Amino acid sequence: MSFLEAIILGIIQGLTEFLPVSSSGHLELAKAIQGQDLTGESSMMMTVVLHFATALSTVVVFRKDITEIFKGLLQFKMNEEFKFSVKIILSMIPAAIVGVLFDDILETFFHGQVLLVGVMLILTGLLLFLADRAKSTNINVSFGNAFWIGVAQAIAILPGISRSGSTIATSVLLGVDRAKAARFSFLMVVPLIFGKIAKDITSEEFRGMISGKIDIGISFGAISVGFIAAFITGIVACTWMIALVKKSKLSYFSYYCFIVGLIAIGWVLFK
């Protein structure tokens, strides 16, 4: 992978992480278009690194909110900050279980699965289309809602299912206010990403990659520039795209997912 290809992937990740259009799906499509022949380990490694970069950009943008979450947990008082922290933890459980139990199987979905991405993008589009017709409310995320939003996040591990799209759409369909749904969606993924990174860096495979015993087909330089591109783009995108998600109709993003999904399917069937 060249530096330019890594930068392109980083920019795509930074831009699409905060819009309901599936960043992982776009990364897989970009890899296919670039003609990259990456192994499951190398493809998954690049995807995780880029997601880690945008997680850090989320921390920068939502630093005050994250500080409140930690304060709520440390104070252990039944106030709004503590309740919100518990809801974040509750939302993490489904994806954490799926990630731990099916990690090896999930790796196979991140290697040239363009047809899967296309189908999942269309499903994302359908979910956004339905959510756009839900009534606007001013309701907060409840404990029960937090769990079901977490289930949506677990399903969104599949490339092509938008994590933000599925969690925001699920929230809206459950009657949660869109602005509050967007805030919850962006904050709930941060602990999972850091947990995934912690799990990866302690694994035997990761130590083998660092030591050079396992060839992942990507240079450290390419990984680094991709990380930097995703981090910087993520900060810029997060500051203005969050407002876009709150104000724009979800159906606009559903149409985009339909178009890209059909293009991906056509790419596989007619290339």
CB within 8 Å of 38: residues ≥ 6 apart:
1, 31, 46, 111, 217, 218
Task: Using alpha carbons, select from 196, 256, 222 the residue that is nearest to residue 51.
Answer: 196
Q: Which domain holds residue 206?
A: 3-270
Chain-centroid distance of CA 130 in Å reads 21
pLDDT in tens, the chain (271 residues): 778 888 888 898 888 877 888 877 777 777 777 665 555 555 666 777 887 888 888 888 888 888 877 777 777 677 777 888 889 989 989 988 887 777 666 666 656 678 888 899 999 999 999 988 887 788 889 999 999 999 999 988 888 888 888 998 999 899 898 888 888 888 887 777 777 777 766 766 666 656 655 555 677 788 889 899 999 998 988 887 777 766 767 888 899 999 999 998 988 888 7
pLDDT recorded at residue 229: 93
| pLDDT recorded at residue 255 | 93
Output the CA torsion sign for 246, 183, 191, 219. Answer: positive
Query: What pLDDT is stored for residue 146 in this prediction?
Result: 93
How far is residue 56's CA from residue 228's CA, in Å, rounded to a whole number? 11
Of 165, 209, 242, give the one whose Cα is nearest residue 48.
209
Are 62 and 182 a contacting pair, CB within 8 Å? no
Q: What is the pTM of this model?
A: 0.79
> How is residue 111 written in tokens?
């290697």
Residues 6+ apart with CB under 8 A from 205: 41, 214
Tell me, what's the pLDDT at 34? 66
Q: Give the contacts of 271 (CB within 8 A, at least 6 positions apart).
A: none
Indicate the number of domains in the chain. Answer: 1
Distance CA 120, CA 103 (A): 19
| Other beta carbons within 10 Å of 52 | 18
CA–CA gap between residue 166 and residue 182 (Å, rounded): 11
Residue 219 has a pLDDT of 74
- Bridge-partner residues for 176, per DSSP? 139
User: What is the separation, in whole angstroms, between the first and last Cα of the chain?
Assistant: 23
**What are the DSSP calls for 16-41, one per residue?**
HTTTTT-HHHHHHHHHHHHT----HH
